[in-house]
């Protein structure tokens, strides 16, 4: 198969780049893929293709830009020129821009490629039906929220024009099938990026690091974590460093700078800024606990899967998609009431003062992470593509659909 992937890709700072990196890493090692075509966004630096394992040929074609009005034309042209056997879109609703028109136009592409005759799967990381528009930084206005929901519904119909749509949480399958009366929606879990050897679970010398990782300012707000750690410091002798790893959300530029100014009196607080891929493992391994200071959720959590792969204890609110994900994939953690510093302080403290408990949580999360490696996720996508191509007559009729592929189709 000659497989094209439409995605942002490192060193791009656009959303889902890290997920794309690991998709590519594992697709290229599949025997069924003879060539990977990256239809990706334009960046100043070279694309990160530092894979050490042998794999298939990779062709990079930078053919779109964040917030460009012409992405729909340039990506369609790239598909015509490269002539892939199949195309996979790595999507969420702000994939092609944080301005409304470019973002919307980009989401028409699955409809376009399918009608060009190319077997098309769209991986949809979030759905409008579960997004809190206020928390996500879109609008507080009820009228505007209604307009956005109408636009979101329309764009979802275009994405659902794909041969198949993959979502990472079972609730999304139920919601989309119920609302849109479509049957081409499949559950393919998020998967775990890397599977390091069983961690030692020991911590480095020095302060215990309480870490949050992500893009902050909308529904991910670090003030509650800073105030929670301050409460713990007042009542215990624990030596704690607060680590805020990541950047502002595109919807809230300047957020972390404002937080740093507000809490400049707080000791042992570190803002790392953007974390390059090669530093992600170190950030997690040095942390005593990973905190999810969320007030709502917008899809499956890549950060939770990363924390699990490095055997980390986590503290998180039991809400929305995050709560569903924990129960479906076997993760665990200490829970707190969202946006409640005292509740969060109690949860973090339970882990920091009890090494045996911290290690137990980490072991459970590592086990959950290793059950769904990205290699298995890549196979699931290829199985689904084989079913689509067979259905379209793209695979010779002498070939038969395997029992595994029949299960995917069902």
In three-state secondary structure terms, 6 is: strand
Distances (CA, A) of 171 to 90, 94, 100, 144, 373: 19, 21, 26, 26, 21
128 closest CA partner among 162, 102, 91: 91
Same fold, 2-191+373-409 and 208-370: yes
Prior bond of 11 cis (ω within 30°):
yes
Tens of pLDDT along 339-353?
Answer: 899 999 999 999 999
Q: Which residue has the higher pLDDT, 41 or 295?
A: 41
Residue 96 predicted with pLDDT over 90: yes
Q: Which residue has the higher pLDDT, 244 or 95?
A: 244
Residue 399 predicted with pLDDT over 60: no
For residues 68-74, give the mean pLDDT.
97
Tens of pLDDT along 252-294?
Answer: 899 999 999 999 999 999 999 998 878 988 999 999 999 999 8
- Tell me how far apart the alpha carbons of residues 271 and 248 are, in angstroms, rounded to a whole number: 11
Distances (CA, A) of 324 to 207, 299, 371: 33, 10, 17
In three-state secondary structure terms, 176 is: helix
Domain 2-191+373-409 architecture:
3-Layer(aba) Sandwich (3.40)
Q: How confident is the model at residue 139 (pLDDT cuts 50, 70, 90)?
A: low
- The chain-wide mean pLDDT, for the chain, equals 88
pLDDT given for residue 148 in this prediction = 67
pLDDT given for residue 9 in this prediction = 95
Residue 397 predicted with pLDDT over 60: no
Domain boundaries, the chain: 2-191+373-409, 208-370
pLDDT given for residue 373 in this prediction = 86
Burial class (CB in 10 A: 0-12, 13-18, 19+), 230: middle
pLDDT given for residue 333 in this prediction = 92
pLDDT given for residue 131 in this prediction = 62
Q: Which range (88-92, 168-172, 173-177, 191-195) has the least confidence? A: 191-195
Q: Which two tokens stand for residue 202?
A: 């020991």
Fold designation for 208-370? Rossmann fold (3.40.50)
- Tell me how far apart the alpha carbons of residues 296 and 339 are, in angstroms, rounded to a whole number: 10
- Helical spans, DSSP H, in 236-319: 255-262, 277-285, 302-309
Task: Evaluate whether 304 touches 278 at the Cβ level (below 8 Å).
Answer: no
Phi-psi region of 182 (alpha: psi -120 to 50; beta: other; left: phi over 0): beta
- Tell me how far apart the alpha carbons of residues 332 and 6 are, in angstroms, rounded to a whole number: 33
Q: How confident is the model at residue 111 (pLDDT cuts 50, 70, 90)?
A: very high
- Tell me how far apart the alpha carbons of residues 314 and 238 are, in angstroms, rounded to a whole number: 18
| 178: Cβ contacts below 8 Å, ≥ 6 apart | none
Distances (CA, A) of 79 to 85, 88, 369: 10, 11, 34
38 closest CA partner among 54, 55, 23, 53: 23
Residue 46 predicted with pLDDT over 60: yes
Q: Which residue has the higher pLDDT, 139 or 288?
A: 288
Q: Is the pTM of this model over 0.85?
A: no
Tens of pLDDT along 311-368?
Answer: 999 999 887 777 777 778 888 999 999 989 999 999 999 999 999 999 999 999 999 8
Q: Which two tokens stand for residue 317?
A: 């609110």
Q: How confident is the model at residue 144 (pLDDT cuts 50, 70, 90)?
A: low
pLDDT given for residue 405 in this prediction = 47
Give the CA diameter of the chain. 72
In three-state secondary structure terms, 62 is: strand
Residue 119 predicted with pLDDT over 90: yes
pLDDT over 90 percentage in the chain: 61
The total of other beta-carbon atoms located within 10 Å of residue 179's CB is 12
- Tell me how far apart the alpha carbons of residues 290 and 153 are, in angstroms, rounded to a whole number: 34
Residue 145 predicted with pLDDT over 70: no
Q: How confident is the model at residue 140 (pLDDT cuts 50, 70, 90)?
A: low
- Tell me how far apart the alpha carbons of residues 20 and 38 are, in angstroms, rounded to a whole number: 10
Task: Evaluate whether 109 touches 72 at the Cβ level (below 8 Å).
Answer: yes
In three-state secondary structure terms, 57 is: strand
pLDDT given for residue 132 in this prediction = 56
């Amino acid at each position: 198969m000659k497989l094209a992937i439409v995605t942002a890709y490192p060193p791009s700072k656009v959303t889902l780049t890290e997920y794309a990196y690991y998709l590519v890493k594992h697709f290229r090692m599949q025997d069924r893929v003879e060539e990977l075509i990256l239809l990706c966004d334009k960046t100043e630096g070279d694309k990160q293709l530092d894979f050490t394992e042998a794999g298939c040929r990779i062709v990079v074609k930078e053919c779109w830009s964040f917030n460009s009005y012409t992405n729909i034309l340039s990506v369609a042209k790239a598909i015509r020129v490269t002539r892939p056997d199949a195309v996979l879109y790595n999507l969420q609703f702000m994939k092609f821009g944080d301005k409304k028109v470019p973002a919307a136009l980009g989401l028409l592409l699955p409809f376009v490629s399918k009608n060009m005759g190319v077997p098309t799967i769209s991986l949809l990381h979030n759905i409008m039906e579960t997004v809190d528009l206020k928390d996500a930084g879109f609008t507080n206005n009820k009228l505007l929220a209604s307009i956005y929901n109408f636009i979101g519904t329309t764009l979802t119909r275009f994405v659902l024009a794909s041969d198949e749509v993959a979502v990472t949480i079972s609730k999304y399958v139920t919601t989309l099938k119920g609302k849109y009366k479509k049957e081409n929606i499949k559950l393919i879990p998020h998967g775990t990026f890397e599977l390091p050897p069983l961690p030692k679970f020991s911590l480095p010398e020095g302060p215990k690091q309480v870490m949050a990782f992500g893009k902050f300012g909308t529904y991910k707000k670090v003030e509650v974590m800073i105030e929670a750690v301050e409460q713990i410091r007042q009542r215990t002798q624990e030596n704690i460093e607060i680590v805020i790893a990541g950047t502002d959300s595109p919807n809230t530029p300047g957020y972390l700078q404002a937080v740093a100014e507000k809490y400049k009196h707080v000791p042992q607080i570190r803002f790392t800024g953007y974390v390059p891929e090669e530093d992600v493992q170190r950030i997690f391994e040095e942390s005593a606990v990973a905190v999810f200071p969320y007030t709502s959720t917008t899809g499956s959590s890549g950060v939770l899967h990363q924390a699990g792969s490095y055997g980390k204890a986590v503290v998180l609110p039991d809400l929305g998609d995050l709560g569903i994900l924990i129960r479906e994939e076997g993760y665990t953690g200490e829970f707190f009431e969202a946006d409640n510093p005292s509740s969060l302080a109690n949860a973090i403290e339970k882990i920091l003062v009890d090494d045996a408990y911290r290690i137990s949580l980490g072991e459970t999360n590592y086990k959950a992470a290793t059950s769904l490696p990205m290699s298995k996720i890549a196979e699931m996508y290829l199985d689904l593509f084989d079913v689509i191509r067979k259905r379209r007559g793209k695979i010779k009729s002498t070939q038969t659909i395997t029992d595994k592929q029949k299960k995917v189709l069902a």
